[in-house]
Amino acid sequence: MNGKFKASDAHLKIDFQDLERRRAHEFSGVWNETLNAVFADVAPYYDAASNFASLGMYRRWLRRFVADIVLKSGDRVLDLCAGTNGIGIELLRNEPDIVAFAMDRSAAMEAEGRRRAGVAGFTINSIIGDAHALPFPDGCFDIVTLQFASRHLKIMNVASEVLRVLKPGGKFHHSDILRPTSKLIEAIYGTYLKACVSVTALAFKSGPEAQSCRDYFVRAVKMFYSPDEFSLMLRKVGFTDVSYRSAISGGLARHRAVRP
């Protein structure tokens, strides 16, 4: 996943509105209820559990994601679904003179992220809010980031909001586990994901909500986008210069896109 960013296939045919409706119908109960309980439970050990479940790759993926982001002094940066502020802290380490904002819907995750930023000696303007309706005026950010959360969102709506709050020329950086292009890799990944959720929940003594999400995590990937489809969705929303890097047969991708 260290190669050049590549443009996506513009000739794919997909009904994004229909897919988003089906995803919301299938998962809205989990999104609106179960995940809130999961994140309230896992907030104090979220980073450690993520690193455990990814066999030590989580921190490496975070660093690679941040390394793609070009910053300059005074940039206004918003990290959506910010969790424990891992991205904001790393960005501030790279460029201490940015103005960093973070938003998460989970009060427990927001509190843990604010605590971690304070321990690291950084100021992050952190709020609790809904990524589908950003409480910011049009064109107020130079960069917006979103990592490992879009499978749990009405992502087309969120992408439209990101486009709105970016300045002209502003960049959206996104990374998530997408639907692999290989059916074999998808099957292997689904088997691994079910096992690692169970083992991680047991190792960290997670509550029953985390265990109950085991099948959800697999189904959410199956009903999500491939890297090329995700690129096309961003262009449909209005972004330009959309490109991505991917690994695991497309199952893990980092996208970047520009507001015209």
Q: Are 197 and 210 in contact (CB under 8 A)?
A: yes
pLDDT 10s digits, 126-158: 999 999 999 999 999 999 999 999 999 999 999
Domain coordinates in residue numbering, the chain: 12-258
- Please list the residues that pair with 258 across neighbouring strands: 171, 240
Sign of the Cα torsion 73, 75, 78, 79 reads negative
Collapsing DSSP to helix, strand or coil, 12 comes out as: coil
What mean pLDDT do residues 235-248 have?
A: 92
pLDDT 10s digits, 38-73: 999 999 999 988 888 888 888 999 999 999 999 999
| CATH architecture, domain defined by 12-258 | 3-Layer(aba) Sandwich (3.40)
Q: Are 253 and 178 in contact (CB under 8 A)?
A: yes
